[in-house]
Structure 1
Amino acid sequence: MAFSVTAILIAFYVLILIIFKKELHTVNRLLTCNTCLASILYCLVQFIDYIYLLIITWDTDDQSCRWRAYFSYMSLISIIYSYVLQIISRFFFINLYEKYRWLISFKSHIYLILFGWIIILALPLPSIITNDIYFRPNELCWVLSDHILHSYYINIAYYIIPILLIIIFSILIMKRIYSYRKTTTIQRAKKRRDRDSEIFRNIIISFGIYFLGGIPYMIDQFIDSPFTYSFGVVTVTLAVNLEKLFIIYLDRDIRNIIKNYFYQTQTRVIPITLNPTFTAR
């Protein structure tokens, strides 16, 4: 729970910073805001799940349990699919920019985000339209591994497909970056490609942190252990914390704004005494 609270605070801070600083209003940071919202949603859902587990113990309804499972899975995949959207956006910028410039507009990315959330809301629907999830005392609501078809669906739709998409788009982007480095000689174009490469690198690092935190979740789909599921909740929430801190560290503009803020707050004007009766500030 503590990790959930800190992750929410950090994500809110990044979100508010991007919203209120006009110089941060870029397409890339629009997608960063989307990832922050997904992270906040995930942490809130996990917080509520543990409140039901530890405090609201009288709610033993199976359908209520299915809805909690739906929101748990939906919030979980919202993070990983938000990274898929970020990679697709980089693919637009790096691979398709010259032919289809409309793809890099704010409007196109808003449609991309809306399409992503339609998928995110639709994928966990089997949690509430099947009877594979039911209330079990002192346990969180999730699909047991003996429901083989549903378990395979979770692994494929929630993990394998988005990870494969990220890998495929990453390979295409890296090939394009490599070819441009060999052929581009104009300084202006080089700076733009270097900037795109830096953003792409930051996305991969952030996703890598989240992916490592989600490994216990994936293991749980095969061994069906309450320990690995609970441990997975903790590691994913911890990964969300680390990933948000890395966003602050890796994004040069956000990092500089925060550094300047703390520098200004720590700088104090010291009074200078000119004579016994006059003090200048």
Structure 2
Amino acid sequence: MLPELFYIINFSISISAAIIALTTAFLILITVICIRSCRTIPNLLICNTSVATILYYLLNLVSIFYALQNDWEQHQPGCVFRAYSYTALCAALCYSYSIHAISRLLFTVFYTHKSLQTWFIHWMMIIISWSISILTPTIPLFFQHGYQLENESRICLPTVKIFSTAICSVLIAFIIPLNIVASVYSSIFFYAWKSTYRIRSLNSHATNLMISSHTRLLKVKREIKLMQKILVLICLVLFGGTPYFILVLWHVLLEESPPEPFYLLSTNCIAIFISLKMITLFCMCKQIKTNVLHYLLKLQRY
């Protein structure tokens, strides 16, 4: 049995990460809601990620509250529902990045199809992603002990000890959405490479065609620069989910059990890297960051 101090330190780190992420997410939401110029399609997608982050950390704080109680092993109300919600919100976070990727695809590759770049299409993508995130995590409910209290981490989740439910949850909330992102970005990079190749092979006398192609290439390069920023966020999510995935494979490939601290550390990694992701997201969105800093300076003067 691990000492109580180990749990106190780890949960304190999770609480700190939650406070930072919640503050950042609420700042983003309030800025976009209050400032009309910030109400753009890219910022809509950022708000979608912020909402998923807020719900995730609120659930995480509830789990930590029960985990720090003296009777944590006997008193875990709504354990199955909290474990299901944990998987659903992790999925919602990862699918929110899939929407970012698909949106970039619509603006870069299918730029001539203006009907695909509307608010309606993006709202539909958000609704579909949340529907998938809510429905697919119900699958482990059909397995025995699909969702339960994991004693090593003191958290209700799809425990890594049962391979069928653990790998199902990893597929739903981690592997599938990240594969969608990888496929979409591969398509965009391939399109950009083809655009560059076309411009280089143009005849020097075809001036008008060169100007048109050059303009299109500049647009593609801007989109790729934005994609590079989003890929940084994807890497943060990847680093956060990898320890949990390693634990799942450990139980299958190795006969001996993993060290007990790894269970809590794997869930802590998710909370820490999601917080880092929100800070990075805020710093990358120049429009939102500028407005927030402007109003904070205004308040400081008063």
TM normalised by structure 2 equals: 0.78
Q: CA deviation at 1:266?
A: 6.5
CA distance in 2, matches of 1:171, 1:69: 33
Which is worse superposed, 10-19 or 210-219? 210-219
CA distance in 2, matches of 1:60, 1:130: 23
Task: Describe the superposition over 1:46-93 as per-residue Cα deviations: whole angstroms up to 9, x where unpaired.
Answer: 111111222383784888321111011111111111101111111111
Alignment of 1:1-281 (within 5 A): 1-55=15-69, 57=71, 60=74, 64-98=78-112, 100-132=113-145, 133-135=147-149, 139-182=154-197, 183=199, 185-186=211-212, 189-223=216-250, 227-261=261-295
CA distance in 2, matches of 1:148, 1:137: 17
CA distance in 1, matches of 2:70, 2:104: 44
CA distance in 2, matches of 1:136, 1:24: 42
Partner of 1:141, secondary structure, is strand
The change in CA–CA distance for 1:156 and 1:130 in structure 2 (over 3 A counts) is: same
TM normalised by structure 1 equals: 0.84
CA distance in 1, matches of 2:72, 2:289: 46
Task: Describe the superposition over 1:243-264 as per-residue Cα deviations: whole angstroms up to 9, x where unpaired.
Answer: 2222222222223334444555
CA distance in 1, matches of 2:192, 2:92: 28
CA distance in 2, matches of 1:64, 1:176: 48
Q: Is the 8 A contact 1:63 1:128 kept in 2?
A: no
Partner of 1:97, secondary structure, is coil
Number of residue pairs aligned between Structure 1 and Structure 2: 267
Q: CA deviation at 1:95?
A: 1.3
Partner of 2:224, secondary structure, is helix
Amino acid in structure 1 at the alignment position of 2:183? I
CA distance in 1, matches of 2:57, 2:50: 11
Q: CA deviation at 1:235?
A: 2.0
CA distance in 2, matches of 1:255, 1:62: 39
Q: CA deviation at 1:188?
A: 5.1
Which is worse superposed, 85-94 or 199-208? 199-208
Amino acid in structure 2 at the alignment position of 1:236? I
CA distance in 1, matches of 2:290, 2:149: 49
CA distance in 2, matches of 1:202, 1:175: 18
The change in CA–CA distance for 1:32 and 1:218 in structure 2 (over 3 A counts) is: same
Root-mean-square deviation over aligned CA pairs:
2.7
CA distance in 2, matches of 1:41, 1:151: 22
Q: Is the 8 A contact 1:134 1:141 kept in 2?
A: yes
Q: Is the 8 A contact 2:56 2:89 kept in 1?
A: yes
Which is worse superposed, 252-261 or 237-246? 252-261
Amino acid in structure 1 at the alignment position of 2:99? L
